[in-house]
Chain A
Amino acid sequence: MNLDNTTSPNQGGCTAKGMLQGQFVICECLFQSWRQHGRTAGHPSKSALPPSISQLLIFELVVADLQRKIREAFEVFDHELNNTVDVREIGTIIRSLGCCPNEGELHDLIAEVEEEEPTGYIRFEKFLPVMTNILVEKRYRPIPEEILLQAFEVLDPTKRGFLSKEELIKYMTEEGEPFSQEEMEEMLSAAIGPESNFIHYRDYITMMVIDEN
């Protein structure tokens, strides 16, 4: 684990030699991060002591549970029942497991789990250790509501409390990691009524967040 709280993805957990090895390697990761930061995922202790055997076993259980979750999400898109999914569904799977990477990060992840010669399909054996790592390290956390609000406010510097339809379209399709036309239309249909021309973003955010829960 690096000091700025990122991991270089190719350390640990990616040898893909089987779940058990993956688990041990992950525990190894946890151990390392424990040593550096004094605590690991889920464990509240601030002490710098290395984890005991029982704590490692608990982590294993946690990890096993995470891996079952990953398998379930993967299987939803494994239409051919042969432990592969179309690479275009990987983003959906990762995001539905609670992560929120941007497109650039997603492309990097895909590169990690693809075959050397990309086949258009991702195999579960390659996907599992990478995804487990991500979940254990709690990478790509979702954005808190307040941050999201601030982002909208950046686009609305005069603080009117809303964005016009044209403004939103311009930002979403020209800035950042642009939306496709389909994405834009769908966002608009949820954000504003057919007559309206303004998105009151505070309300919009609240509505979407309620939907999630």
Chain B
Amino acid sequence: MGSGASTHHHFAFQNAEKAFKAAVLIQRWYRRYMARLEMRRQCTWSIFQSMEYAGQQDQVKLHDFFSYLVDHFTPSSHSERDFLNRMFTEERVPRDSEVEKCSDYESIEVPDNYTGPHLSFPLLPDHATALVEAFRLKQQLHARYVLNLLHETRKHLVQLPNISRVSTCYSEEITVCGDLHGQLDDLIFIFYKNGLPSPERAYVFNGDFVDRGKDSVEILMVLFAFMLVYPKEFHLNRGNHEDHMVNLRYGFTTEVMQKYKTHGKKILQRLQDVFCWLPLATLVDEKVLILHGGVSDMTDLELLSKLDRHKIVSTLRCKTRKEKEKQAEEKGKAKQTSSAGSLSPWFLPQSRSLPSSPLHLSSHKTHKTGRSSSVPSSILLDPRGLSRQARRSVDLELERCRQQAGFPVIKEKEEPWVFNPEADSAAGDLLEPSQEEWRQVVDILWSDPMAQEGCKANTVRGGGCYFGPNVTKRLLQKYDLQLLIRSHECKPEGYEFCHSRKVLTIFSASNYYAVGSNRGAYVKLGPALTPHIVQYQANKATHMLTMRQRISRVEESALRALRGKLFAHSSDLLEEFKKRDNGNTGLITLSDWAAAVESVLHLGLPWRMLRPQLVNSSTGNMLEYKSWLEDLAKEQLSHENIQSSLLETLYRNRSNLETIFRIIDSDHSGFISLDEFRQTWKLFSSHMKMDITDDGICDLARSIDFNKDGHIDINEFLEAVRLVEQSCSEGNASDCPQASNAKGSGSWPPTEDSLVSVTQVAS
């Protein structure tokens, strides 16, 4: 040592070592930063998912609630009976025949000042393309064309089998898309990026076209148009949202009524029918099975091919045949009713068990009333009417309600049919699905894959099951298949393989939970049937953000929604907090806070991790819970004139209320009378934990009837309860770039800079 050179080396070595150490330090710090972001992202996802599924469970609970009421509620007055009846009836529609259907739309005039797209039938490919372009320019299709299109669609669908078959011999490539949920931007993007449908380019859309997003109608129009234009190459599968009961809650019904007003109701009726006629699954080259939800260990493709899919009006309400009929028909198939009748309804205070679900049929008295006593006389007189199922099932429901309510039935029980026995059984067969058939359909529309082996009830959704890798394996082996493609679940990357890549989930609604929450994806199959996946995210704004900014935005949406939910349970939370506040100090530990919140909300969320963002008023380790709850309330409330505890109950039940109101408002006018409103509350409070007096209800009703005309505008009422949702949507509106996209360039395809990058993912 000592020579210049080696000293220089020595210093150089030291410097290198220092640089190395500095780099490690920076990298270490950065990786921790990213890990925390990842944790936040994952937590945010959990929040959205748990709230979404809680909402779905609510829907099932609501269904059970009504069924329970029908079975057990004794109306004490004539008006109450009427009210109850009306909750289950749709307006009787004029006699169902082809002629009638035509006159639906033929009588509707298209005004001269209409600037939207025109349709003429038979449709040509150019019409379908023009339709997409018109929608991209935010035009609306006139009701006449909508009904015409639905009429033609139904004619086409009726001819299709339950399981469509596609072959790569005819189309070189087949593109499968998942849930769209009313997000037209994503559909337009897919057509732009992948190409419009053509004889060489087949498409399969795997259900859930509607609800939640704002352009469900337009999506349906486009999909139906292409299906008519390319019947061999364009296929649709039914999803669990192609269901009028689900639509009542999740926004599609509202969208139709808002866009089409007086014609809306007719459109909804037609749609209810069209949905029932959608095929249940698609098979590619006899090797790749595509269906919306999943499978169960009981899934029987042969049975699914043969059943009358049109009988299954809604997977949420099952009206099945009598026990003995079913037994005779099934010839020894396993019965499903072992659990029925032993579950007590969830909303009775003493039962905190699993919600009754489509899986566990509660003890309806349907089988007692059966078909022989409740068929309106009109059926007996018109044999053609036998093949139109949708309205018949509703009529039966009406009859059942009348019976329950004590009105005289049209026919005595056990009265023999006028027809001969063959027609009899035909009538019976056509009217209602068997329990087994219904269950098969629920399974394929609602199930989700799980990692564990086996098959168990899907308690999160309230319908279908969780199926494990062994179930998949057995099914694929049994039918000589190589892949199952399904949708139904939102995935951060728009797709996900599981079960050793035997199951592919494909989800095409990007930014589903919030702007930046997830990508969308579609999958292409060539003759080799190797899946090739393409991802996208149809919102340019998020592309410019860093990951941190994207995650923060989505997180903020989730937290806002979560805070709303916390507020909605304020009273229960206060009770739980008090329980843990032994000395009545007004303080609890943060640990107790987490435990209390979980015990009330049951969302299974990591509350300790979320705590810093939900609670900012803690001192040290203790929280003043009362003031925290007050802060929550201040954030959510802006109307001081309604009792806050009532508002909280309203808020908690607002989705249910909306649904109920829409059912009551059977003419979809947007108004219900004060009396109807009061009766609704009375029914509600008689079966839920609500101590509200009749006076309280009257006061509430009066205070909401702002113009004192004896009617409540449903929308105004719900506005009062949807305060937070309003501010949420205002916050998100600025994120949406599509508003600036309507520049009327008028050409197809849309220009590149209105869309965003796409990553190609090799299989």
Q: Which residues of A contact B (CB under 8 A)?
A: 65, 68-69, 72-73, 75-77, 79-80, 82, 91-96, 99-103, 142-143, 147-148, 150-152, 154-155, 157, 171-172, 175-179, 183, 186-187, 189-190, 208, 211-212
Contact = CB atoms under 8 A, between A and B. Distances in A.
A80 B20 CA distance: 40
Interface in B15-54: 15, 18-36, 38-39, 42-43, 46
B28 A171 contact: no
Contacts of B20: 175-176
Per DSSP, chain B at the interface is helix
B591 interface: yes
Given A92-B39, A95-B31, A175 B452 contact: no
A2 B26 CA distance: 27
Nearest to B35: A95
Given A65-B591, A92-B39, A143-B25, A212 B33 contact: yes
Given A92-B39, A100-B32, A148-B29, A171 B23 contact: yes
B72 interface: no
Q: How large is the interface on B (under 10, 10 to 19, 20 to 34, 35 or more residues)?
A: 35 or more
B609 A76 contact: yes
Given A95-B31, A148-B29, A175 B609 contact: no
A76 B606 contact: yes
B26 A151 contact: yes
B547 A177 contact: no
For the complex of A and B, 4 pairs with smallest distance between CB atoms = A176-B23, A95-B35, A96-B39, A175-B23
Interface-centre pick from B31, B36, B591 (highest chain A CB count, 10 A): B31
B28 A154 contact: no
Given A143-B25, A155-B22, A155-B23, A68 B451 contact: no
B107 interface: no
A76 B22 contact: no
A101 to B, nearest CB: 7
A50 B522 CA distance: 65
Given A80-B451, A172-B23, A175-B20, A96 B29 contact: no
28 contacts: A68-B608, A72-B607, A76-B46, A79-B451, A80-B452, A92-B35, A100-B28, A102-B28, A142-B29, A150-B22, A151-B21, A151-B22, A151-B25, A151-B26, A152-B26, A154-B22, A155-B22, A172-B27, A175-B23, A176-B22, A176-B24, A177-B24, A178-B27, A183-B31, A186-B34, A187-B30, A189-B547, A190-B546
A64 to B, nearest CB: 9
Contacts of A72: 606-609
A80 B453 CA distance: 11
Per DSSP, chain A at the interface is helix
Interface string B580-595: 0000000000010010
B390 interface: no
A60 B458 CA distance: 39
B450 interface: yes
Contact of A148 (B25, B34, B451, B594): B25
Contacts of A189: 546-547
Nearest to B25: A151
Contacts of A73: 39, 606, 609
B24 A211 contact: no
A180 B494 CA distance: 24
Nearest to B37: A211
B648 to A, nearest CB: 27
Contacts of B32: 95, 99-100, 142
Contact of B26 (A68, A80, A157, A176): A176
Given A76-B46, A152-B22, A190-B546, A101 B28 contact: yes
A157 B34 CA distance: 27
Contacts of A79: 451
Contacts of A177: 23-24, 27-28
Contact of A76 (B28, B36, B39): B39
A92 B31 CA distance: 9
B474 interface: no
Given A80-B451, A175-B24, 19 more contacts: A68-B591, A69-B609, A72-B607, A77-B42, A82-B452, A91-B31, A95-B31, A96-B35, A96-B609, A100-B32, A102-B24, A150-B22, A151-B22, A154-B22, A176-B26, A176-B27, A183-B31, A211-B548, A212-B33
A177 B607 CA distance: 34
A179 B547 contact: no
A154 B452 CA distance: 51
Contacts of B42: 76-77
A196 to B, nearest CB: 14
Nearest to A147: B25
Nearest to A91: B35
Nearest to A178: B27
A189 B549 CA distance: 11
A77 B609 CA distance: 13
Interface-centre pick from B27, B30, B450, B606 (highest chain A CB count, 10 A): B27
B27 A155 contact: no
A154 B24 CA distance: 12
Contacts of A76: 39, 42-43, 46, 606, 609
Contacts of B608: 68-69, 72
A148 B24 CA distance: 11
A211 B46 CA distance: 21
A143 B26 CA distance: 9
Contacts of B36: 95-96, 212
Contacts of A172: 23, 26-27
Contacts of B18: 154
Interface-centre pick from A75, A95, A155 (highest chain B CB count, 10 A): A95
Contacts of A96: 35-36, 38-39, 609
Contacts of A212: 33, 36
Given A80-B451, A155-B19, A190-B548, A208 B25 contact: no
Given A68-B608, A154-B22, A186-B547, A143 B28 contact: yes
A73 B675 CA distance: 51
Contacts of A80: 450-452
A92 B594 CA distance: 22
Contacts of A187: 30
A82 B468 CA distance: 14
A37 B34 CA distance: 35
Nearest to A80: B451
Nearest to A105: B28
Contacts of B606: 72-73, 75-76
Contacts of A183: 30-31, 34
A75 B342 CA distance: 33
B19 A175 contact: yes
Contact of A171 (B19, B34, B451): B19
Nearest to B43: A76
A72 B18 CA distance: 38
Nearest to B552: A211
B460 to A, nearest CB: 11
B35 A148 contact: no
